[in-house]
Amino acid sequence: QMPKWPWKPWLRTGVNVASGDGDPGDGTHETFFNLLPTNHLYYGFADQLAFQNLINPFVQVKLAPHAKVGLNFFVHWFQLMQRDDARYAGTGAFDRKSFGFTAQNAGGQTDVGIEYDAVATVALHRTTTLELGFKDSDYTFWNGFLAPAKTPKPIIDRLHSEITSAGTPWIFIARASWS
């Protein structure tokens, strides 16, 4: 942190690591379980991943151009710790059947993708903060598209190709908080 410099720049880097299960078939589940997740704070605004079987190196730059304005920029690189375990998604224990997390077979892959986040925070009043942000990402997986179970593989391959080549649009996130 450089509190005496203009805009008070703060450069931070680190690695968030959550263990995976190296042998999912042995009857003992050894993947880290994040009981109280705080996704945005540590590993991105996109909420594509749960903190399980994950390696997340990151770089963050925070700036304060004004006493009431903060700017926060992140780059996250995501990889799976164990290629035989799953890629987990979800934001916490809210479902009795799955504890709020889903798992997708990693297919022997460890590369998950990169996420870029930018957030501006404005203190409107001593009890009111407005936070505006956007994210962009380049993930090696896609979610949310369903097809019937007996859809022929060439059609699934074509759908995958078309959807992933379309790219991920920027997402605008607006959130206000009062205390």
pTM across the whole model: 0.71
pLDDT of 169 reads 42
Q: What is the pLDDT of residues 80-139, one digit of tens each?
A: 999 999 888 876 665 555 556 778 888 888 998 898 989 899 999 888 888 888 777 776
pLDDT of 167 reads 52
pLDDT of 48 reads 79
Q: Measured between alpha carbons, how far is 9 from 54 in angstroms, rounded to an integer?
A: 28
pLDDT of 179 reads 41
Looking at the predicted structure, is the pLDDT value of residue 174 above 60? Answer: no
